Structure 1
Amino acid sequence: MNYLAHLYLSGESDEMMLGNFIGDYVKGQQYLRYSEDVQKGILLHRAIDSFTDTHPVVKEAADFFRPAYGRYSGIVTDVIFDHFLAKYWREYSPYTLRQFAKHVHAVLLSNFFQLPNRVKGFLPFLIQHKRLESYAQLDGIQQSLHIMAHRTSLPDHTNEAIAVLERNFAELKELFERFFEELVLHAEQRFDVNILKKVK
């Protein structure tokens, strides 16, 4: 999953949120340098990635993007799933996406000196351009994929990814909903995370 899902799955703990956000940038046993709850967030990040990478529903969704992206189709699926979470955010949280994003920004800024250097480097961009909120719009997803293509080995087939999403929107949304329900339960049960959900 991408940034927004990781942050949401951290629940009400700011320290777990911090750990979950930096999880990709803390390798091996380096997580032991952090406080207990930040460690827990880093381990939660790894567990989310493992659960996602091996889930059959995610593989089914990735198949839509495989013709254009090949072995990178899972990365694109992560971004597309964050789009669904952002677009339908009010179905998952009692807070608005803007309220949630502002809280995330505050947590990260107040712990700036604990952040790995690479995270320090891109955090101002993430805040200034409201990246977490932008995931709710197709042009936000499009921009994210373009940026990833220029900074990583992800092929720049962004227009094709958006076209695939638009053609198969309902089916991909249904796959996301099925998977995310299981992922939320996995985070709650394995890590005792308290995720404050919207009252239905």
Structure 2
Amino acid sequence: MNFLAHLYLSGDQEEIMIGNFIGDFVRGRTIYERYPFHLALGIELHREIDEFTDSHPVVLESKIRLRPKYRHYAPVIVDMFYDHFLACNWNRYHHQPLHEYAQHCYRILQKSEPLLPPQVKYMLPYMIKGNWLLNYAKSEGIHRALSGMAQRTPYNSKMDEAIHELTEYYSDFEKEFLLFFPDLKEMSLRFIENKLQH
């Protein structure tokens, strides 16, 4: 899953949201020694979400469709596609309109800047200026994000071309997302509840 899903699956606790958001940029196992408890919980939740997603049979169907052309970049592309479908189906999952939720998230991240890793501090102004969270709902927004990622990969990933597969197999990818996401949401809620009880 990508930025929108990681923020959404964190619930309303701001430090958990921040931790989940920065999870890709934090290395090592000693997160509870290095970060405040709720922020470390968010980082751990990020890792649980990634592991759960990578091993889910429905997600595997999405990845198989992309693997012949995109090989090991297929999971990255599926993450982007699924954020698109979360944005498109936002009203199913959250009472607050997506444009308001996005601004809420940006405010939380901005005021938490001292806690952010350097790469995230660098990226955040571009994210806010381009309103990435809202623009995931548009095919152009996903295409722009994939093109940016393609430019940063060391090999010719062709991720910028994946918009063609999204268009061609749109209903298949959306069906798989809608099947998968309730499982991911349940896992995330259970994980947070269990951690907060201990």
- Asked if TM exceeds 0.5, the reply is yes
Could you list the per-position Cα deviations for residues 43-102 of structure 1 after superposition, in whole angstroms to 9, with x for gaps in the alignment?
A: 100100010111111111111211220111111000000000011111111011111111
Once residues 121 and 33 of structure 1 are traced to their aligned partners in structure 2, the CA distance between those partners, rounded to angstroms, is: 21
Q: Indicate if the aligned counterparts of 1:68 and 1:157 stay in contact, CA closer than 8 A.
A: no
Query: What corresponds to 1:104 in structure 2?
Result: 105
In the alignment, structure 2 segments of 5+ residues that lack a partner are: none
Once residues 35 and 5 of structure 2 are traced to their aligned partners in structure 1, the CA distance between those partners, rounded to angstroms, is: 22
Letter in 2 for 1:167: E
Letter in 2 for 1:15: E
Query: What corresponds to 2:136 in structure 1?
Result: 135
TM superposition shift of 1:152: 2.3
Once residues 191 and 112 of structure 2 are traced to their aligned partners in structure 1, the CA distance between those partners, rounded to angstroms, is: 26
Equivalent positions of 1:31-180 (< 5 A) are 31=31, 32-153=33-154, 155-159=157-161, 161-180=162-181
Alpha-carbon RMSD:
1.3
Letter in 2 for 1:176: F
Query: What corresponds to 1:9 in structure 2?
Result: 9
Please state which structure has a larger fraction of its residues in helix. 2
| Higher-RCO chain (CA-CA 8 Å, sequence separation at least 6) | 1
Q: Indicate if the aligned counterparts of 2:22 and 2:120 stay in contact, CA closer than 8 A.
A: yes
Once residues 185 and 11 of structure 1 are traced to their aligned partners in structure 2, the CA distance between those partners, rounded to angstroms, is: 12
Letter in 2 for 1:117: P
Once residues 42 and 190 of structure 1 are traced to their aligned partners in structure 2, the CA distance between those partners, rounded to angstroms, is: 12
% identity of equivalent residues: 40
The TM-score with structure 2 as length reference comes to 0.93
TM superposition shift of 1:145: 0.4
What SS does the corresponding residue of 1:11 show, helix, strand or coil? coil
Tell whether 2:49 aligns with 1:25. Answer: no
> Aligned residue pairs: how many?
192
Could you list the per-position Cα deviations for residues 83-132 of structure 1 after superposition, in whole angstroms to 9, with x for gaps in the alignment?
A: 00011111111011111111111111111011000100100000011011
